Copies of this chain bind each other. A is one copy, B any other.
Amino acid sequence: MEHTPLSAAEGVEEAIRMLEGRWKLVILFHLFGGKLLRFSELERAIPAISQKMLIQQLRQMEKDGIVTRIVHHQVPPKVEYGLTNWGQSLCPALDALLQWAERRDPAKDESQG
């Protein structure tokens, strides 16, 4: 099955919505590599984010099947967040995005035709 620009746009549009928001990608980057991070660890890793935003984005991504939430029933509470297989599979895409981002400075050739 091939994808036309139209249908491709449709498909990606949905994916994009899952990644939208000011913090999701940042969170994902901290989770890549199969790392499991506690709520507080993520908080410390991303100082600029508020608890509300962190939990909100996390929940959203969990609902979308990108991240998993692992609850350890103990005192004090311990909850870890990681990526699902699908979430892990986002790595190539994000990496490509990173490559692109780094192409900004060098060899910037505005002429497109």
Which A residues are within 8 Å of any B CB, using their own CB? 3, 5-6, 8-9, 11-16, 19-20, 25-26, 29-30, 32-34, 45, 65, 68, 82-90, 92-104, 108-113
Contacts and interface: CB of A to CB of B under 8 A. Distances in A.
Identical copies of this chain, number: 2
B98 A92 contact: no
Given A5-B33, A86-B103, A93-B93, A12 B98 contact: yes
B97 A89 contact: no
A53 to B, nearest CB: 14
A97 B102 CA distance: 18
B8 A112 contact: no
A103 B110 CA distance: 34
